[in-house]
C-alpha cells in the first residue's frame, strides 16, 4: 500500500516508520491511523523485520496528538469509533510480535504520548515533550492514556499529569519512567538503530517470547505469571535458537540464530 502520511524505511532487519504529516505536527486523523494500522499489520507478518522503530518526521514533533480539527465536530458515536480506532492501533503495536522502539523526537502529546506508551521502549530526544493535555480540551484521553499511563508511572503521577495537563521535558519523563532513555536529538536515530541492532543479534524467538511474557505476566498475579514464565522458558527448548545459543557459548563462538 502507498502511504500519504508515512515514510517506511527498511535497513536489514530493522524497519523504521516515520509519521509524516508536518503541517499538523504529525497529528493523528483517521487516515494516519488507518495507514499505521495497515503498516503494523503488514509488519506483524513480515518475518524479515525483527525490530520496528516508530518516530515522527521532522525535528519538532513525534505526534502532537489526535487531530483536534477532525475531533471538534464529532458526535458521541463518531467519537467512540475514533477512540476504538486509536485503541486498535495502540493494542496492535503493544502486541506486535516484534519489539517496537519509540524514537520520540519532539512533542508526544495526547494521542502521541499514548502511541509512544504502546511501544515497548521509549527513547526520548533531549527536546522531547510528553503530556496528556486532553482535559484542557474538555475531554479525557481516548487512545489508552488513562490506562497505560497509570500502569507505566505511579497512580498518583498519572493522575497529576492527567488532571493538570502538565507537559514534561525528556529528563522529567525519564525520572518518572515515562521515557526509558534520553539522548541528544542529533543522536536519536543512531542510538535507536544501535539498540535495534543489539536486539537483532539475539535469539529472535526468545525476544518475541520475552515481550509476550512481560505483557501477559503484568496482567496476572505473580504466582500465575511465574508459572507462565516457566511454560515460555520450556518452549524455548523446542527451538533451534536455544540449541544454537547454548552450543555457541560452549564452543566459544558467536551464535548464528535462525529464528526457528
66: contact with ligand CAA by CB under 6 A? yes
Q: Of the listed pieces 13-21, 89-97, 103-111, 229-237, which binds ligand CAA according to CB under 6 A?
A: 103-111
137: contact with ligand CAA by CB under 6 A? yes
64: contact with ligand CAA by CB under 6 A? yes
Cβ atoms of 117 and 89 within 8 Å: the answer is: no
Report the alpha-carbon distance of residue 17 to residue 192 in Å, rounded.
Answer: 12
Q: Of the listed pieces 32-40, 132-140, 153-161, 225-233, which binds ligand CAA according to CB under 6 A?
A: 132-140
- Write down the catalytic residue from 9, 78, 94, 134: 134
Is the CB of 89 or the CB of 96 nearer to ligand CAA? 89
Report the alpha-carbon distance of residue 260 to residue 50 in Å, rounded.
Answer: 13
Q: Of the listed pieces 2-10, 97-105, 137-145, 206-214, which binds ligand CAA according to CB under 6 A?
A: 137-145
- Write down the catalytic residue from 35, 48, 114, 219: 114
Q: Which of 56, 142, 204, 245 binds ligand CAA (CB under 6 A)?
A: 142
Cβ–Cβ contacts within 10 Å for residue 190, how many?
A: 10
245: contact with ligand CAA by CB under 6 A? no
Is the CB of 98 or the CB of 105 nearer to ligand CAA? 105
Assign residue 165 a region: left if phi > 0, alpha if psi is -120 to 50, beta otherwise? left
How many helices (H) does the chain have, and how many strands (E)?
A: 11, 10
Report the alpha-carbon distance of residue 125 to residue 120 in Å, rounded.
Answer: 17
**Is-catalytic flag, 134?**
yes
Report the alpha-carbon distance of residue 122 to residue 174 in Å, rounded.
Answer: 9
32: contact with ligand CAA by CB under 6 A? no
Residues labelled as active-site residues: 114, 134
Amino acid at each position: 500500500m502507498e502511504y500519504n502520511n508515512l515514510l517506511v524505511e527498511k535497513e536489514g532487519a530493522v524497519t523504521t516508520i516515520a509519521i509524516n504529516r508536518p503541517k499538523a505536527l504529525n497529528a493523528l486523523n483517521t487516515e494516519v491511523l488507518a495507514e499505521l494500522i495497515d503498516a503494523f499489520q503488514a509488519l506483524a507478518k513480515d518475518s524479515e523485520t525483527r525490530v520496528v522503530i516508530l518516530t515522527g518526521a521532522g525535528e519538532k514533533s513525534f505526534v502532537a496528538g489526535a487531530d483536534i480539527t477532525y475531533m471538534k465536530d464529532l458526535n458521541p458515536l463518531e467519537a467512540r469509533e475514533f477512540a476504538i480506532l486509536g485503541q486498535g492501533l495502540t493494542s496492535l503495536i503493544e502486541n506486535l510480535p516484534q519489539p517496537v522502539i519509540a524514537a520520540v523526537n519532539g512533542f508526544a502529546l495526547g494521542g502521541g504520548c499514548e502511541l509512544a506508551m504502546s511501544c515497548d521502549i521509549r527513547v526520548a530526544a533531549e527536546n522531547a515533550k510528553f503530556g496528556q493535555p486532553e482535559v484542557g480540551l474538555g475531554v479525557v484521553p481516548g487512545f489508552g492514556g488513562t490506562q497505560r499511563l497509570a500502569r507505566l508511572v505511579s497512580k498518583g503521577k498519572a493522575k497529576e499529569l492527567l488532571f493538570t495537563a502538565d507537559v514534561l521535558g525528556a529528563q522529567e519523563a525519564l525520572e518518572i519512567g515515562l521515557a526509558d532513555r534520553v539522548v541528544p536529538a542529533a543522536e536519536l536515530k543512531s542510538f535507536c538503530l544501535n539498540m535495534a541492532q543489539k536486539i537483532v543479534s539475539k535469539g529472535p524467538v526468545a525476544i518475541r517470547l520475552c515481550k509476550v511474557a512481560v505483557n501477559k505476566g503484568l496482567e496476572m498475579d505473580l504466582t500465575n505469571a511465574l508459572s507462565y514464565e516457566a511454560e515460555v522458558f520450556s518452549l524455548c527448548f523446542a527451538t533451534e535458537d536455544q540449541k544454537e545459543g547454548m552450543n555457541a557459548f560452549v564452543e566459544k563462538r558467536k551464535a548464528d540464530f535462525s529464528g526457528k
